[in-house]
Amino acid sequence: MMTLTQASASDNERLIEYFAQSPVPGAIELRQQRMFNFFNQYTIQSDDFTTCLLQNDQRQIEAIATLLFRQGLIDDKFETVGYATDLRVSPTRRAILGWSKHFLPVLEQERATRGARFIFSVVPHSQRQAYNAFIRPRHLRREFPRYHLFRRFQLVSLHGLWPFHDLPLTGIKIRSAGPADRAALADYILRKTAKRPLSWYSTPEDFYTSVERWRDFNIENFLLAFDRYHNVIGCVAPWSPERVQRTFPIKYDSKAKNFQDMLKVLSMFRLGHPLPAEGQQFEFRHLTNLQADNPDIFYSLLYNAFQMSGKKEFLLYPHFEGELTTLPPRSFIAAETPYGLYCILGPNDPIPDFLKPRSMQVAPVFEPAFM
């Protein structure tokens, strides 16, 4: 018999072990390992989260998932928004059916407890099993949560610069932020994220609190771009998740293997940063809080962040469909992985207006570091 329970601190070691043993499929099959405390990935975002684990009769974990809640902007109004993340299900029929049976009641209960109307989740396009199980369930009469596409995005990885690449703008100044820049930085981020869906910054204090929550993260992480009048016109904060979660490639498919081989050759000419061998750790930084007034400033920020990266590091950032400023610059040796950001609704929930297709949609505020 399968039972679903809420995880606690006493389950930390078991969760870390199960999480590390559950591979993430894709062009590069991945293994992710939580460091020290399984829940650190969530506490850097919010204090309000619930990790559920499905256990068999022998108390062996068969599936896990986390529902995290925080404030977010929906239809120009701040409300409690949920995020479903870190879903791992053992590849057995019993586990898959057991999880499908238990997930919807928990989802509905957690939503109702907090008055959260919407829960969002990310699904990689490469995970066919997840698409078949959640996005396109075969048995329409069964009580399944419904996944509705909110936005498509590409997770862009930057691995090098091509020869004769464009140089960054010379008419702006880019430097690391200091304590004296706190107010100007907060004001800029609030202006850039105002009216954008899922934004969680409504006051400067929200921004300061967010910075304080992140591990190994502070104001000095930021690179700021200034115009000649000393106004902030762009920012980015490279962040390594190494002390929270580490990622290892288990297997490269043929296309990914060719890309790995190409980068190995380019690294010999100091044009690219190589990818690790199977089983070795990825070295990368998320380009968090990435904002810019135009594509040229955006490219200059990427260029400076890449110049500061290690010889084996690559950089990651999200590019949402229709967002022109964040298009991957052609000067970079880059790869793109397609994802979908979905809104999870109950079987009887009406489809909200913000999920209906529109042209020229504004990109939401979303950090892949928290996926």
On whether residue 217 sits in a domain, the answer given is yes
Do 272 and 174 fall into the same domain?
Answer: yes
Res 2: pLDDT: 87
Do 218 and 258 fall into the same domain?
Answer: yes
Do 116 and 210 fall into the same domain?
Answer: no
Do 144 and 273 fall into the same domain?
Answer: no
Do 181 and 146 fall into the same domain?
Answer: no
CB atoms closer than 10 angstroms to residue 122: 19
Res 150: pLDDT: 94
Q: Domain residues for 115? A: 3-150+342-347
Give the CATH number, domain containing residue 259: 3.40.630.30
CB atoms closer than 10 angstroms to residue 277: 10
On whether residue 362 sits in a domain, the answer given is no
On whether residue 358 sits in a domain, the answer given is no
CA nearest to 154, candidates 369, 370, 368: 368
On whether residue 189 sits in a domain, the answer given is yes
Res 1: pLDDT: 80
Do 99 and 217 fall into the same domain?
Answer: no
Q: Which residues contact 268 (CB under 8 A, 6 or more apart)?
A: none
Do 237 and 282 fall into the same domain?
Answer: yes
Do 137 and 192 fall into the same domain?
Answer: no
On whether residue 354 sits in a domain, the answer given is no
Do 143 and 191 fall into the same domain?
Answer: no
Res 101: pLDDT: 80
Q: What is the pLDDT of residues 258-283, one digit of tens each?
A: 999 999 999 999 999 999 999 999 99
List the structure tokens of 262: 């190409």
On whether residue 257 sits in a domain, the answer given is yes
Do 133 and 202 fall into the same domain?
Answer: no
The C-alpha atoms of residue 317 and residue 302 are separated, in whole angstroms, by 10
Are 25 and 129 spatial neighbours (Cβ–Cβ below 8 Å)? Answer: yes
Do 233 and 129 fall into the same domain?
Answer: no
Q: What is the pLDDT of residues 24-68, one digit of tens each?
A: 988 999 999 999 999 999 999 999 999 999 999 898 999 999 999
Res 143: pLDDT: 62
Residues of the chain with pLDDT under 70: 126-144, 358-360
Model pTM score: 0.94
Helices (H) and strands (E) in the chain, counts: 8, 14
CA nearest to 235, candidates 272, 206, 207, 214: 207
On whether residue 201 sits in a domain, the answer given is yes
DSSP three-state, residue 221: helix
How many domains does the structure of the chain reveal? 2
Do 165 and 282 fall into the same domain?
Answer: yes
The C-alpha atoms of residue 71 and residue 199 are separated, in whole angstroms, by 8
On whether residue 264 sits in a domain, the answer given is yes
